[in-house]
């Protein structure tokens, strides 16, 4: 079997550096395998699975190279001085017995994280007042007396009892509602140990969680002093850990742990392996960790699929401490029975391509519309009315705060970055449409109403990859154009454009970048051709960004092919979690 290999410059340089450490001539084959390992991390895996490349004909730089079989690749790597094995000396690369080749630090991340999660999952809070808990559970979760029949009640109790728990569920299943009531349960317990931290991967996700908590806590059946005590300060994970500007390290670690008794992290599917390891490492041994997220969403942009790995390991056997620590919420409170979004996502998640296609063609579905894509030359006219209708309201806003709020009502999502159906092409078309309509004046890049998406982390400016802002005249600075961003405390902050980290226009954004966001309406465009990025996870994540309605622009064959495809990320975290259970 032949495979095309697109080697990046960083893969080439990394492989050359590793080869230089061998003290000999390792040869083209070894160099290529190391390059593959670097490339795997760049694509989101934490390791290279040798079985994926063994025996393949690789085409790279217009050259063909036949790779040996699995056993021969294992022997090749074992014979070099730069490869170690689990439990051996520290070397740049680690090869395990299953044929997973790691860059050392990613192997170390998995080892640390697996060990700490299992220790926490096997540990329980020792000071729960059972009588108080039973009374509070019945009051906060009225209705079903059997916890197995009320997953939210079960999830809250599990999160209270255990030092590690996961509350997973799709949009609208009540994850935030559950955790707010869990906080009330905790605060009504007698005793100390109630220092609580709330965090999310991005500023936008943090701000959204804060608003949800403020709305939900006022509805709780609990004493006023408890309601007031429920925290609504939400920070980014980087902020929680104390990111040090100019360095890829944090103030808090195992040597300087976080001063909290309970840490709750929302949108956990977005948290990459290195960041999750840094967070868990920084917890005190007796601190409680609760992860909220949707295991079916796309994994983090960076390496790892931590939430998914944890959930799968928890399902592997009842003897695992993880098996009782994970609660999957299933009942949906947002999408009513017959909702197009709910029906389509169920079929997509299950990989039922024919059922999904039938639903796609059912124009009677509530909140869901499907259209075939136009040819690229007609894309502008196809989008014109939709773009003007979707973005007019926020562009007519009278203040930065109003503009930011209204911008969240509509978004164009796509799968790719380049091309007419990608971010670059769709943003260019959208700007042209809005300029022709008189809604924006694009004389340069600093125009009123331009939405921007931050693409790198900048700790000094407290802006992180995925944060979204809008250029708007600053009424407090003579109408000078500034970039306005929502702040985690629910307010708005402004930044001079010249201080912004790397960013891009954000009328259209990739599904990956939309994670942690929700919009009233979504216009979701798939490219009219096959691409490896088109998977059921991408479809599910894109469709579920909408709270009310989705218009999907997709070719039938491309759509069904995506439903059949799954993301494959190589990771040993799940295996480590399962192996350490035995």
Q: What percent of the chain has pLDDT over 90?
A: 32
pLDDT for 173 equals: 82
Provide the whole-model pTM: 0.84
- Cα distances from 576 to residues 110, 293, 560, in angstroms, run 7, 21, 34
Residue 145 has pLDDT above 80, yes or no: no
* Coil, strand or helix at 11: helix
CB-side exposure of 511: number of CA atoms within 13 Å?
Answer: 27
Domain boundary among 279, 308, 333: 333
Contact 351, 536 (CB under 8 A): yes
CA distance 535 to 277: 27
pLDDT in tens, 20-57: 888 776 788 898 999 999 999 988 899 999 999 888 88
The pLDDT of 324-338, averaged and rounded, is 78
Q: What was the pLDDT predicted at 150?
A: 84
How many domains, the chain?
3
- Is residue 35 assigned to a domain? yes
In-domain check, residue 570:
no
Give yes or no: residues 256 and 322 share one domain: yes
Backbone angles phi, psi at 29, to 5 degrees: -65, -50
Label the pairing between strands 492-495 and 546-553: unpaired
pLDDT, position 193: 65
Task: Please give the pLDDT value at position 449.
Answer: 92
Q: Within this chain, do residues 379 and 300 fall inside the same structural domain, yes or no?
A: no
The pLDDT value recorded for residue 369 is 86
Question: What pLDDT is recorded for position 218?
Answer: 83
569 located within any domain: no
Report residue 234: phi and psi, to 5°: -125, 130
Of the candidate ranges 150-154, 425-429, 435-439, the one whose mean pLDDT is the lowest: 150-154
Give one DSSP letter per residue of 118-156, joined into a string.
HHHHT-B-S---HHHHHHHHHHHS-S-S-GGG-HHHHHH
Give the model confidence (pLDDT) of 349-361 as tens digits: 888 988 888 888 8
User: Do 267 and 400 fall into the same domain?
Assistant: no
Same domain, 305 and 427: no
Between 156 and 412, the more confident residue is 412
Question: Within this chain, do residues 316 and 417 fall inside the same structural domain, yes or no?
Answer: no
Whether 445 maps to a domain, the answer reads yes
Examine the domain organization and report whether 229 and 364 are in the same domain: no
Among residues 333, 360, 391, the one where a domain terminates is 333
Which whole-number Å values give the CA distances from 575 to 113, 399, 432, 537, 538, in the listed order? 12, 51, 50, 22, 25
CB neighbour list of residue 212: distance below 8 Å, 6 or more residues apart: 176, 180
Residue 153: the pLDDT is 86
Query: Are 94 and 223 contained in the same domain?
Result: no
Give the least confident one: 21-30, 303-312, 503-512, 565-574: 21-30
Residues 369 and 448 in one domain: yes
Domain with 312, as residue range(s), is 129-333
Domain of 429, CATH number, reads 3.40.50.300
DSSP 13-82: HHHHHHHHTSSS--HHHHHHHHHHHHHHHHTT-SSEEGGGTTTPEEEETTEEEE---HHHHHHHHHTSTT
* 74 plus 208 within the same structural domain: no
Residue 115 lies in a domain: no
Q: Which residues pair with 66 in a beta bridge?
A: 57
Same domain for 525 and 495: yes
Note whether 349 and 315 are same-domain residues. Answer: no
Number of C-beta neighbours around residue 448 at 10 A: 15
The per-residue pLDDT for range 238-274, each reduced to its tens digit, is 889 987 765 567 888 889 999 999 999 998 888 889 9
Nearest to 567 by CA among 44, 20, 162: 44
Residue 579 lies in a domain: no
15 and 163 assigned to the same domain: no
* Average pLDDT in the chain: 86
Tell me the pLDDT tens digit for each residue of 74-108.
988 988 889 998 877 888 999 998 999 999 999 99
Q: Is residue 119 in a domain?
A: no
**Percentage of residues of the chain with pLDDT beyond 70:** 95
Tell whether the model's pLDDT for residue 431 goes beyond 90.
Answer: yes
Starting at the earlier edge strand, list the strands of the sheet with 93-95. 48-49, 100-103, 93-95, 83-84
Q: Is the pLDDT of residue 123 over 90?
A: no
Which residues does 257 contact at the CB level (< 8 Å), separation at least 6? 282, 283, 284, 287
The domain that contains 99 carries what CATH number? 1.10.10.1020
Cα separation, 498 vs 521, in Å, equals 32
In a domain, 109, yes or no: no
Closest residue by Cα to residue 413 from 518, 328, 317: 518
Written as six digits, the tokens of 37 are 């390992």
Judge whether 565 and 557 are in contact, CB under 8 Å.
no
């Amino acid at each position: 079997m032949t495979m095309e290999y697109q080697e990046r410059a960083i893969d080439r340089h990394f492989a050359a550096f590793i080869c230089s450490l061998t003290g000999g001539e390792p040869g083209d084959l070894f160099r290529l395998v190391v390059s593959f390992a670097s490339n795997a991390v760049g694509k989101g895996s934490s390791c290279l699975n040798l079985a994926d490349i063994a025996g393949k004909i690789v085409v790279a730089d217009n050259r063909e190279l036949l790779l040996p079989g699995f056993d021969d690749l294992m022997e090749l790597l074992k014979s070099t001085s730069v490869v170690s094995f689990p439990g051996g000396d520290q070397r740049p690369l680690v090869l395990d017995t299953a044929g997973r080749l790691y860059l050392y630090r990613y192997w170390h991340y998995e080892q640390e994280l697996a060990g700490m999660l299992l220790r926490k999952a096997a540990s329980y809070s020792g000071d729960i007042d059972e009588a108080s808990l039973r009374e509070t559970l019945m009051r906060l979760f009225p209705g079903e007396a059997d916890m197995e029949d009320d997953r939210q009640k079960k999830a809250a109790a599990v999160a209270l009892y255990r030092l590690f728990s996961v509350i997973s569920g799709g949009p609208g299943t009540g994850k935030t509602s559950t955790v707010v009531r869990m906080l009330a349960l905790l605060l009504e317990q007698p005793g100390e140990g109630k220092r609580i931290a709330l965090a999310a991967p991005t500023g936008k996700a943090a701000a959204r969680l804060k608003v949800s908590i403020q709305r939900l806590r006022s509805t709780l059946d609990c004493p006023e002093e408890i309601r007031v005590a429920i925290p609504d300060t939400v920070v980014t994970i980087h902020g929680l850990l104390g990111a040090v500007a100019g360095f890829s390290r944090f103030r808090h670690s195992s040597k300087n742990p976080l001063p909290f008794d309970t840490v709750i992290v929302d949108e956990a599917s977005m948290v990459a392996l290195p960041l999750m390891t840094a967070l868990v490492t920084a917890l005190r041994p007796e601190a409680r960790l609760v992860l909220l997220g949707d295991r079916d969403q796309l994994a983090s942009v960076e390496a790892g699929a931590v939430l998914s790995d944890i959930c799968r390991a928890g399902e592997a056997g009842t003897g695992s401490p993880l098996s009782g620590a994970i609660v999957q919420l299933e009942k949906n409170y947002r999408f009513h029975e017959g909702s197009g979004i709910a029906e389509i996502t169920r079929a997509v998640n299950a990989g039922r391509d024919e059922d999904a296609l039938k639903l796609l063609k059912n124009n009677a579905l509530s909140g869901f519309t499907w259209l075939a894509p136009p040819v690229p030359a007609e894309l502008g006219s196809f989008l014109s009315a939709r773009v003007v209708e979707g973005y007019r309201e926020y562009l007519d806003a009278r203040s930065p705060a109003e503009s930011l709020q209204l911008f969240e009502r509509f978004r164009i999502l796509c799968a790719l970055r380049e091309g007419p159906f990608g971010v670059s092409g769709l943003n260019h078309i959208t700007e042209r449409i809005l300029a022709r309509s008189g809604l924006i004046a694009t004389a340069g890049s600093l125009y009123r109403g331009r939405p921007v998406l931050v693409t790198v982390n900048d700790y000094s400016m407290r802006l992180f990859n995925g944060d979204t802002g809008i250029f708007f005249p600053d009424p407090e600075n003579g109408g000078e154009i500034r970039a306005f961003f929502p702040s985690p405390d629910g307010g708005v902050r402004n930044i001079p454009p010249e201080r912004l980290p790397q960013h891009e226009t954000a009328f259209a954004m990739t599904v990956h970048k939309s994670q942690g966001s929700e919009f009233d309406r979504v216009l979701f465009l798939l490219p009219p051709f096959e691409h490896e990025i088109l998977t059921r996870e991408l479809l599910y994540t894109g469709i579920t960004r909408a709270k009310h309605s989705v218009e999907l622009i997709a070719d039938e064959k491309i759509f069904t092919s995506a439903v059949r495809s799954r993301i494959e990320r190589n990771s040993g975290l799940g295996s480590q979690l399962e192996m350490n259970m035995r």
